[in-house]
Amino acid sequence: MPVISDKASAMPASAIRKLVPLSDAAESSGVKVYHLNVGAPDIKSPDCAFRAVLDKCTGMHHLSYTNSAGLMELRKGLVEKYYRKIGIDIEVSELLVEVAGSEAFAGAMQIAANPGDEIIVVEPFYTNYQTFAFLNGITLKAVHTEIRDGFKVPDISAFEALVTPKTKAVLLSNPCNPSGKLFTREEMLAIGDFCIRHDLFLISDEVYREFCYTDEPHFSAMSIPGCEQHVILADSVSKRYNLCGARIGCIISHNKDVMAAALKLAQSRLCPPVLGQYAAIGALDTPQSYFDEVREEYIRRRDCAIEELNAIPGVFAPTPMGAFYAIAELPVDDAEAFTRWMLTEFRIDGQTVMVTPASSFYKSAGVKNQVRIAYVLEVPLLRKAFRILREALAAYPGRTV
Amino acid sequence: MPVISDKASAMPASAIRKLVPLSDAAESSGVKVYHLNVGAPDIKSPDCAFRAVLDKCTGMHHLSYTNSAGLMELRKGLVEKYYRKIGIDIEVSELLVEVAGSEAFAGAMQIAANPGDEIIVVEPFYTNYQTFAFLNGITLKAVHTEIRDGFKVPDISAFEALVTPKTKAVLLSNPCNPSGKLFTREEMLAIGDFCIRHDLFLISDEVYREFCYTDEPHFSAMSIPGCEQHVILADSVSKRYNLCGARIGCIISHNKDVMAAALKLAQSRLCPPVLGQYAAIGALDTPQSYFDEVREEYIRRRDCAIEELNAIPGVFAPTPMGAFYAIAELPVDDAEAFTRWMLTEFRIDGQTVMVTPASSFYKSAGVKNQVRIAYVLEVPLLRKAFRILREALAAYPGRTV
């Protein structure tokens, strides 16, 4: 009998999705599960996205491939209607449509690093960075940020300490999934300067750009002076327009070699999904009022989440300034065991809560008592969920405080 | 300035798509180009596919992620409405929805082989097999089939001769892109027996299954007795329903380890495109008459293509029994140079033809005078295209006969 490859067996299961069978089992036995585990918001997608799909598909008789780089209407639209508006000035040739943000950063990692090379990440980081690094034989080296410091980026000497001849890039998400950390202009300038000094690519995953809760505008890696040839931007319509299922994103760079390589990778999978491209074209007409309303709603939810979390004895959660996640330190021995226990044993009135254990967001060992909370439910539901979490923590046998 | 990885620079550009800039240039200067180069048919997609998209999107306000394995409605529908009907008996857990056939075979290759391992292919083969092998550090070893033998599969000793301790799988497409070769039952049984004896996976790309021009039904690798744990099937809706842009396919195996690994890979990219999944759900209701009509149309086109090609002095093209491609040997020194010359210099009444040079479909060096013809135009247009090809061959300076 044939045996699957070591690579396929050793590949880590998604930390975010591996407990899904437990919640499926709970739900099919009639338990109501509050999902604070996945960044799949309940917010409405803009109507113009669906309208575009309906318009294009009415009377349609073909669904052919598009250009591997995406439909010109979408590429031009992104450049002119979206990026220009937010101050990112690019040519159409500097943007290529991808199968969601996932393909964009996975491609960027391969463009920057060979098997055996190293990429510096800021931890906690999006867990699938580790998956794609593993699949491509790339080693991640992590600069640690501390929950008790509000995930402040440390002095650049922490980056310098990780540099070897194999270091090829820095990879970060800003705002950060999972910490909600928003990188300041100063932090980004320091990282940009570091990349310039060491000839490194800066892969910046900015899929949560429209979810910033400070008064300053988001500072994109594309705006770092002198870093034009270093920055590879990974972006997506999934979060921006609540179109997670469309699977459309893009990769952007002023570096011609990067874009030529991205096109070769894109050609190997023929083209991005066309119906999703239609939705993305429609979404470009989303009015600013949509973003403003969504932002206000998330600020309400974040404030609720942070207030409720810190009111639970033994819980610590700093206030995130972006995205729709918060990391919370819980008074438990092992956050994964606690999460499993909530899904399999703990119920209040037939209800429980699902969170994501945060250890897989870290390269450093020993971060075992943190969870990621996605505040993707309306405030009244969030309150209910946190009440259940509070009771669960009080009842959990592995409680440490 | 940072430098892109050796992997990204050395990655081959798509043989099928790399000449597209030349045809774009010809077209934008007003030249009419007959495209015999890409398997993008002009055949209508079934109406039920678009109807499903319209029905699902009307009044829709969310486009969330689906399960990483795809919507249950689609998975069940594929198992019950399609595979059962054609005699492939599988459970829902033995099928996972992929981002088109590309993701299915690329995943299967990684599940079967580590970097440094080897996979046996039957050449000529689909050129992107080489791309994904390259990206994953896998070496392809090719069993040669000869155009003058109608691409008959040689004795199994040709496979035996390639086996090393690093051999992990056999990979083939049936019907074959690019040769149109339809593997016989006997050929498949022999290959299956070979895989069983050497504990190899058999990765069978059957995306052209509905395009067979013999009286016998298609013989799937899934039907090889005793090979249940070896076969990994890659399939797609792109060709079957002329829904190339939907980007929906699936991976199928009775082997539980394979499916567990496929799920881990699927989770890393979150989910397949949802709107495409809707189109695929709708396409499951395609009536048999649709396939019958499409098949008759392709037989007309194939007969036209083979007749016209072999009528050109010095051209040889065996009759393909499946897919919608033919390989033709041309009386030229270098088929790529000839293709470039047709796109850049040769015009008849402002018209020219684009074909795909076939050398990249071979591992063996020296196959320089073959092209792949996709007979994806209506017969009258095909006749015009072949008339232009005939004139081009008569006028080409690098003509060998």
Q: pLDDT tens-digit profile of B84-128?
A: 999 999 999 999 999 999 999 999 999 999 999 999 999 999 999
| Shortest alpha-carbon distance between residue A283 and chain B (Å) | 12
Cβ distance B8 to A169 less than 8 Å, yes or no, reads no
A204 beta partners: A172, A233
Do A117 and A22 sit in the same domain of this protein? no
Cis bond upstream, residue A357 (ω within 30):
no
Residue-wise pLDDT tens digits, B266-286:
999 999 999 999 999 999 999
pLDDT in tens, B126-141: 999 999 999 999 999 9
Size of interface A-B (CB pairs under 8 A): 248
- Phi then psi dihedrals of residue A54, to 5 deg: -65, -45
The C-alpha of B233 sits at a distance from chain A's nearest C-alpha, in angstroms, of: 15
- The per-residue pLDDT for B208 is 96
Closest Cβ–Cβ partner in B11, B53, B261 for A8: B261
A56-77 pLDDT tens trace: 999 999 899 999 999 999 999 9
Mark whether B97 and B209 lie in a shared domain. yes
What mean pLDDT is predicted for residues B290-311? 97
Q: Which residues of B touch A38 (CB under 8 A)?
A: 65
C-beta atoms of A5 and B113 within 8 A: yes
According to the model, what pLDDT value does residue B17 have?
79
First-to-final CA distance of chain B = 51
- B217 and B179 housed in the same domain: yes
Mean pLDDT over A371-388 rounds to 96
Restricting to A residues 75-94, those with a Cβ less than 8 Å away from any Cβ of B are none
Q: What is the mean pLDDT of chain A?
A: 96
Rg (alpha carbons) of chain B, rounded to whole number: 21
Mean of all residue pLDDT scores within chain B: 96
According to the model, what pLDDT value does residue B254 have? Answer: 98
Closest chain B C-alpha to A66 CA, distance in angstroms: 7
Q: What is the pLDDT confidence band of residue B365, given thresholds at 50, 70 and 90?
A: confident
Same domain, yes or no, for A351 and A210? no
Token pair belonging to A179: 């910490």
Is the same domain home to A246 and A300? Answer: no
The 10s digit of each residue's pLDDT in B314-364 is: 999 999 999 999 999 999 999 999 999 999 999 999 999 999 999 999 998
What whole-number distance in Å separates Cα of residue A59 and Cα of residue A79? 29
* Whole-number Å distance between alpha carbons of B135 and B248: 22
- Tokens representing A51 are 């309208």
Q: Which residue type sits at A264?
A: K
Number of folded domains that form chain A: 2
Which one of A169, A242, A276 has the shortest CB-CB distance to B273? A276
What CATH code is carried by the domain that includes residue A37?
Answer: 3.90.1150.10
- Write the CB contacts of B362 (distance below 8 Å, at least 6 apart in sequence): B123, B124, B142, B144
Closest Cα in chain B, distance from residue A245 (Å): 5
**A360 Cα to chain B: minimum distance (Å):** 14
Which B residues, 218 through 247, put their C-beta within 8 Å of a C-beta on chain A? 229-230, 242-247
Residues A330-347: tens digit of each pLDDT: 999 999 999 999 999 999
Check if the beta carbon of residue B210 is closer than 8 Å to that of residue B241.
no
Chain A, window 170-209: residues with a beta carbon less than 8 angstroms from a chain B beta carbon: 195, 199-201
Supply the pLDDT for residue B38.
84
Interface check for A55 against chain B (CB to CB < 8 A): the answer is: no
**Residue B40: its pLDDT value, please?**
75
Answer with the one of A283, A307, A332 that is the final residue of a domain. Answer: A283
Answer for the pair A127, A13: CB distance below 8 angstroms, yes or no: no
Which residues, in sequence order, are bridge partners of residue B155? none
Instruction: Name the pLDDT band for B39 (thresholds 50, 70, 90).
Output: confident
- Contact between chains at A244 and B57 (C-beta distance less than 8 A): no
Decide if B400 is inside a domain. no
Whether residue A133 sits in one domain with residue A105: yes
CB contact under 8 Å between A264 and B60, yes or no, is no
Which residues does residue A118 pair with via DSSP β-bridges, in sequence order? Answer: A139, A167
Domain harbouring B216, CATH code: 3.40.640.10
Please give the DSSP secondary-structure letter assigned to residue B83: I
pLDDT average, residue stretch A212-233 = 96
pLDDT at position A278: 98
Contacts of B73 in chain A (CB under 8 A): none
Q: What is the DSSP letter of B333?
A: S
A17 touches chain B (CB under 8 A): yes
Helices B20-28/B335-344 angle, 10° precision: 20
Taken as a whole, chain B contains a residue count of 401
How far apart are alpha carbons B74 and B96 in whole angstroms?
10
**Tokens linked to A81:** 């209607």
3-state secondary structure chain A: CCCCCHHHHHCCCCCCCCCHHHHHHHHHCCCEEEECCCCCCCCCCCHHHHHHHHHHHCCCCCCCCCCCCCCHHHHHHHHHHHHCCCCCCCCHHHEEEECHHHHHHHHHHHHHCCCCCEEEEEECCCHHHHHHHHHCCCEEEEEECCHHHCCCCCCCHHHHCCCCCCEEEEEEECCCCCCCCCCCHHHHHHHHHHHHHHCCEEEEECCCCCCECCCCCCCCHHHCCCCCCCEEEEEECCCCCCCHHHCCEEEECCCHHHHHHHHHHHHHCCCCCHHHHHHHHHHCCCCHHHHHHHHHHHHHHHHHHHHHHHCCCCCECCCCCECCEEEEECCECCHHHHHHHHHHCCCECCEEEECEECHHHCCCCCCCCEEEEECCCCHHHHHHHHHHHHHHHHHCCCECC
Residue of A nearest to B271 (CA): A245
Residues A201 and A240 in one domain: yes
Residue B95: the pLDDT is 98
In a domain, B335, yes or no: yes
A117–B5 CB contact, under 8 Å: yes
Indicate whether B1 belongs to any domain: no
Q: How far is CA B331 from CA A358, B167, B335, B389, B399, in A?
A: 64, 37, 9, 12, 6
CB-nearest to A62 from B5, B44, B114 is B44
Residue B354 CB burial class (10 angstroms; 0-12, 13-18, ≥19): buried
A-chain CB neighbours of B274 within 8 Å are: 245-247, 276
Q: Which residues have a Cβ under 8 Å from the Cβ of B161 and sit 6 or more positions away? A: none
Write phi, then psi, for B343 (nearest 5 degrees). Answer: -75, -30
Query: Which residues in chain A are closer than 8 Å to B12, comparing Cβ atoms?
Result: 264
Asked if residue A201 lies in contact with residue A112, where contact means CB atoms within 8 angstroms, the answer is yes
On the question of pLDDT at B156 being above 90, the answer is: yes
Residues B115 and B37 in one domain: no
Within a domain: B265: yes
Phi, psi of B97 (to 5 degrees): -75, 135
pLDDT band of A38, cuts 50, 70, 90: confident
Dist CA A26 CA A46 (whole Å)? 32
Residue in A closest to B200 by C-alpha: A2
Query: Could you tell me if residue A60 is inside a domain?
Result: yes
Chosen domain end from A244, A264, A283: A283
Residue B217: domain span: 47-283
Predicted confidence at residue B141, as pLDDT, reads 98
CB-CB neighbors (< 8 A) of A377 in chain B? none
pLDDT at A20: 87
Q: Do A128 and B244 touch (CB under 8 A)?
A: no
The ipTM (two decimal places) reads 0.95
Query: Of the candidates B8, B12, B60, which has its C-beta nearest A50's C-beta?
Result: B60
Tell me, yes or no, whether A136 lies in a domain. Answer: yes
Interface membership of A42 toward B (CB under 8 Å) = yes
Least CA distance to B55: which residue of chain A?
A54
Q: Is the pLDDT of residue A180 over 90?
A: yes
Q: Is the pLDDT of residue B15 over 90?
A: no
Alpha carbon separation from A149 to A152, A153, A367, B160, B227 (Å, rounded) = 6, 9, 15, 62, 57
Q: In whole angstroms, give the CA distance from residue B152 to residue B155.
A: 9
Q: Binning pLDDT at 50, 70 and 90, where does residue B16 land?
A: confident
Same domain, A37 and A51: no
Q: Tell me, what DSSP letter sits at residue B322? A: B
Chain A: residue nearest B167 by CA?
A: A2
Report the alpha-carbon distance of residue A272 to residue A97 in Å, rounded. 7
The β-bridge partners of B141 are: B120
Q: Are residues A192 and A98 in the same domain?
A: yes
B72 CB near a chain A CB, below 8 Å? no
Which residue is closest to A257 within chain B, CA to CA?
Answer: B4
Contacting residues of A for B265, CB less than 8 Å apart: 8, 11
A265 part of a folded domain = yes
- Looking at residue B177, its pLDDT comes to 96
Q: Is B8 on the interface with A (CB under 8 A)?
A: yes
B258 touches chain A (CB under 8 A): yes
Name chain B contacts of A177, Cβ cutoff 8 Å. none
Cβ within 8 Å of A, B 312-371: none
CB contact under 8 A, A4 and B68: no
Distance from CA of A394 to the nearest CA of B (A): 33
More confident residue, A40 or A120: A120
Residue where a domain stops, chosen among B283, B317, B347: B283
| DSSP H stretches of helix in B140-273 | 157-160, 185-197, 256-268
Residues of A in contact with B64 (CB under 8 A): 40, 244-245
**Full-prediction pTM beyond 0.80?**
yes
Return the pLDDT at A204: 98
Share of residues in chain B with pLDDT > 70 (%): 100
Smallest CA–CA distance, residue B60 to chain A, in Å, is 7
Is B401 inside a domain boundary?
no
Same domain, A182 and A241: yes
In whole angstroms, give the CA distance from residue A51 to residue A73: 16
Residues B250-262, mean pLDDT to the nearest whole number? 98
Q: Compute the distance between CA of residue A97 and CA of residue A101 in angstroms, rounded to an integer.
A: 10
Of B53, B64, B99, the CB nearest to A275: B53
Please tell me whether residues B80 and B133 are part of one structural domain.
yes
Q: Which two tokens stand for residue A263?
A: 């096109």
What confidence tier does A358 reach under pLDDT thresholds 50, 70, 90?
very high
Flag whether pLDDT at A267 surpasses 90. yes
